[in-house]
Amino acid sequence: MAPKKQSQGGAKPPVLKDDASSKDQKRLDQSNMLTQLKSAKATAEQKELLKMYQDLPRFDPKKSVFLSQWKSDKSCKWMHEYKQQTYTEKKKTLNAVSGYGTKFLVQE
């Protein structure tokens, strides 16, 4: 009988692709977030986050902001600060003078 050949290299370690693994990790995080927010145990802030997240367009950058903030604090206590910030921004834009004409025509 001939002796068996022994392989020199053995099993090759898996090659990690940073780009693909980060996309996969983001997809897993999004799935995890949506599953937890849809659960019956979700708080009012979490349900509000879910509604805001689902109302956004498909590739909106705010979705990744929501995901990163949710990953850091899953209780969604930051939602109150986020709502205050957006309310303040909306209030500033509503109070801004826009239009054309003299300042006497625009002034109310």
Tokens representing residue 97 in the block: 């003078």
Nearest to 70 by CA among 26, 24, 22, 20: 26
Residue 74 covered by a domain? yes
Determine the pLDDT at residue 9. Answer: 56
**Total count of domains within the chain:** 1
With vertex at residue 66, the alpha carbon angle to CA 63 and CA 69, rounded to the nearest 5 degrees, is 150
Cα–Cα distance list, 22 to 14, 58, 101 (Å): 16, 19, 52
| CA atoms of 38 and 63, how far apart (whole Å) | 16
Residue 15 covered by a domain? no
CB atoms under 10 Å from CB of 97, counted, come to: 8
Residue 49 covered by a domain? yes
Residue 106 covered by a domain? no
pTM over 0.85: no
Residue 27 covered by a domain? no
Residue 34 covered by a domain? no
Residue 55 covered by a domain? yes
The residue that leads in pLDDT, 43 or 107, is 43
User: Does residue 31 sit in helix, strand or coil?
Assistant: helix
Residue 25 covered by a domain? no
Q: What is the residue range of 82's domain?
A: 44-90
Please tell me the least confidently modeled range out of 33-37, 56-60, 90-94: 90-94
